[in-house]
């Protein structure tokens, strides 16, 4: 009888220890797994990188613009393709009240020539989708994350980029995307706070057309500052460039909001202003809109670091 009581007592102690270990969710000799960083860079070929590693904390980060040579050595006149006549948009954007967009006819002027019209194809669909992007170095175009990675279709299969396009005129030719980037917060979590990405090109048009600067706005809020959104909307003749300029409505942690008029296919447009110290500089990437305002992914330290990482690849 005594042996039975001892056995029961030992068994009870063993079960108690086991239950406590399971409740703590820590296997014997193992550590809990750290949460995944939504700003981790990912590519269409499966490469991952943490661009924030070894980065020093700065109150403000700035990458300067470059005007390029502006020479139009590749004047091509191709007209709209049959696919572009039925161009599709990926995200809604809005005209807030009266449409105050103006057409940019001088697309070979800076910074307009560094603004890029994008024609995108995805797997398992015959449709062609339109977006906008902007050069940030000789061969890197920044755009919205949903332009390179669709939540419905996955990574883009092909992207054709036309800097400074003007209707049927391609003053700087066209380039093919060779590598596409975004971050896990968008591709895995579908979180619009991380809706941004980039495209590497099979050439270096930035040496000719130049590129936009980009900067963080940590030291002072950009709310109230005048800014422009320039791109290639699909409610107009496709391939024509349009722009609107209005003050930033609000500055949130991950987003800037504005009543600047935009439309579908302008996703990825630069939200920029002409700073006295840095010139034509993007502070957000236009992504989508609603009935009262439009939104762009704010250039935070993490966004800045990823853009620099992609530009250096």
User: Using one digit for the tens of pLDDT, what is the confidence trace for 135-192?
Assistant: 999 999 999 999 999 999 999 999 999 999 999 999 999 999 999 999 999 999 999 9
pLDDT digits (tens, 9 = 90+) for 246-290: 999 999 999 999 999 999 999 999 999 999 999 999 999 999 988
Hey, which residues are catalytic here? 146, 267
- What number of CA atoms fall less than 13 Å from residue 36's CA on the CB side? 12
Measured in degrees and rounded to the nearest 5, phi and psi for residue 38 equal -65, -15
Burial of 44 (0-12, 13-18, 19+ CB in 10 A): buried
Using DSSP bridges, classify how beta strands 76-77 and 226-231 pair: parallel, antiparallel or unpaired: unpaired
Q: What are the residues facing 284 on neighbouring strands?
A: 271, 298
In our burial notation (b when 16+ CB lie closer than 10 A, e otherwise), range 272-294 reads: bbeeeeebbbbbbbbbbbeeeeb
Average pLDDT, the chain: 87
* Portion of the chain with pLDDT greater than 70, in percent: 81
Whole-angstrom distance, CA of residue 28 vs CA of residue 191: 35
* Portion of the chain with pLDDT greater than 90, in percent: 76
């Amino acid at each position: 009888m005594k042996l039975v009581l001892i056995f029961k007592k030992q068994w009870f102690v063993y079960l108690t220890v086991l239950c406590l270990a399971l409740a703590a969710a820590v296997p014997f000799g193992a550590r809990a797994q750290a949460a995944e960083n939504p700003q981790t860079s990912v590519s269409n070929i499966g490469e991952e990188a943490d661009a924030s590693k070894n980065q020093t904390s700065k109150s403000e980060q700035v990458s300067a613009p470059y005007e390029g040579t502006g020479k139009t050595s590749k004047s091509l006149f191709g007209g709209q393709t049959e696919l572009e006549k039925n161009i599709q948009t990926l995200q809604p954007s809005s005209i807030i009240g009266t449409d105050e967009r103006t057409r940019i006819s001088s697309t070979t002027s800076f910074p307009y020539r560094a603004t890029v019209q994008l024609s995108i194809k995805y797997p398992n669909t015959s449709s062609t989708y339109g977006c906008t992007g902007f050069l940030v170095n000789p061969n890197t175009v920044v755009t919205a994350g949903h332009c390179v990675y669709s939540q419905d279709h996955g990574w883009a299969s092909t992207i054709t980029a036309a800097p400074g396009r003007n209707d049927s005129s391609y003053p700087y030719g066209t380039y093919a995307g060779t590598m596409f980037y975004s971050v896990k917060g968008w591709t895995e979590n579908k979180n619009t706070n991380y809706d941004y990405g980039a495209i590497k090109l099979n050439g270096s048009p930035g040496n000719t057309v130049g590129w936009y600067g980009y900067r963080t706005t940590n030291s002072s809020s950009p709310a109230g500052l005048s800014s422009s959104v320039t791109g290639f909307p699909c409610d107009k003749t496709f391939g024509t460039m349009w722009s609107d300029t209005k003050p930033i409505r609000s500055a949130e942690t991950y987003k800037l909001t504005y009543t600047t008029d935009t439309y579908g296919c302008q996703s990825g447009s630069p939200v920029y202003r002409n700073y006295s110290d840095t010139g034509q500089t993007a502070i957000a990437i236009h992504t989508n809109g609603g009935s009262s305002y439009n939104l762009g992914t704010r250039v935070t330290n993490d966004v800045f670091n990823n853009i620099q990482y992609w530009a250096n690849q």
